[in-house]
Amino acid sequence: MFFGSIKKGIVGKTMTKTGKCVVVSDVHLGTADSNKEKFADFIDNLGDDVEHLVLLGDIFDLWRRDPVGVLLENVDIVQKLLNLEPRVNVFFVIGNHDFHLIKFPESYFGVKFDLKYDLSLEYGGTTYRFIHGHQLENKRFGTLEMYETFADMMCMAGDDVGWAADAIWEKIGGGVSILDKIRNVLGFSSRSSKPNPKATLSWVKGKTDEISLEPEKRDLKKLEEYAVELLNERYKGEFLIYGHTHEPFVKMEERIANTGSWVKSPATYLEIDAEGVTRKSY
């Protein structure tokens, strides 16, 4: 069971028959390739029939950047999102690149986004489950806890990925349970002698380099298979919506869909209504 540690978010909200749900992810505000102006225009022009806006993670990109600096650069976007309430219900599901937001105090901008690990909304008899998608990395990183350690440290790394790798090693090396999981990934038994520290550190540095690559340079095709496994294992009967891979699609038969991204072009998102899920471009 690879997905046992996924944390729960809000469950059981029911959308009206007339309202739409708009889902967007991977805007990566704070990077040079983010379509910030287009995203701002998108927020300003959400239709009157939009009832819910789900921000499905990586809206901000805090990796190798000062998290506070990124938010200050994008305070106009934050304000636009806040101004949508109460006409539009805004939900924020954290991703791997903005994972560190969950540690921010309420004093930032005088507000606190109601951040979630996942979200469940019901519409037209279908339960839609929203996750960012980094949860699907479990098979490659051993556990979600381990991957989120990587994600959090990358948010504090500045431009120094080597520092992040050392910090991750220090953190996971201090926890016996996580270290045991690393032993298993590397082929060491927890009952045998201690693993070679250099081998383990090398693995950490390798994974840090791997998650730093652009999505198009990584092998993310397997994540779609993992999404189907997750659906069958944990969310049976639901419809899974995720982002993370920057590759938009809707597969009604498999009951999975991906939001795509707002990096470079095109800018893609999903709409959910009484007829189902539709892929859109802006």
What is the share, in percent, of the chain residues with pLDDT greater than 90? 43
- pLDDT for the residue numbered 111: 54
List pLDDT tens digits, range 74-115. 989 999 998 998 899 999 999 988 888 877 755 454 355 778
Q: What letters, b where the CB count within 10 A reaches 16 and e where it falls short, cover 118-136?
A: bbbbebeeebbbbbbbbbb
CATH superfamily of 10-136+220-281: Metallo-dependent phosphatases (3.60.21.10)
Please report which confidence band the pLDDT of residue 135 belongs to, taking 50, 70 and 90 as the band edges. Answer: confident
Asked if residues 124 and 112 have their Cβ atoms less than 8 Å apart, the reply is: no
Q: Are strands 268-273 and 276-281 parallel, antiparallel or unpaired?
A: antiparallel
pLDDT in tens, 136-193: 877 666 667 767 776 776 666 554 444 444 444 445 444 444 444 444 444 444 444 4
> Quick check: 251 pLDDT over 80?
yes
Q: Do 171 and 153 form a contact (C-beta atoms < 8 A)?
A: yes
Q: According to the model, what pLDDT value does residue 113 have?
A: 72
∠ CA 187-190-193, rounded to 5°: 85
Residue 92: closest CA among 75, 112, 72 = 112
Helix (H), strand (E) at residue 11: strand 10-14
Q: Distance between CA 215 and CA 136 in Å, rounded? A: 14
pLDDT at 198: 42
Distance CA 19, CA 96 (A): 29
* Separation between Cα atoms, residue 244 and residue 95, nearest integer Å: 8
Residue 85 pLDDT: 87
Average pLDDT in the chain: 77
d(CA 279, CA 249): 7
- State residue 166's pLDDT score: 45
203-227 b/e (C-beta count within 10 Å ≥ 16 → b) = bbbebbeebbeeeeeeebeebbebb
The whole-number pLDDT of residue 180 equals: 47
Please give the model's pTM, rounded to 2 decimal places: 0.78
Structure tokens at 26: 């991977």
DSSP three-state, residue 24:
strand
Question: What is the average per-residue pLDDT within 15-29?
Answer: 84
Average pLDDT over residues 259-265: 92
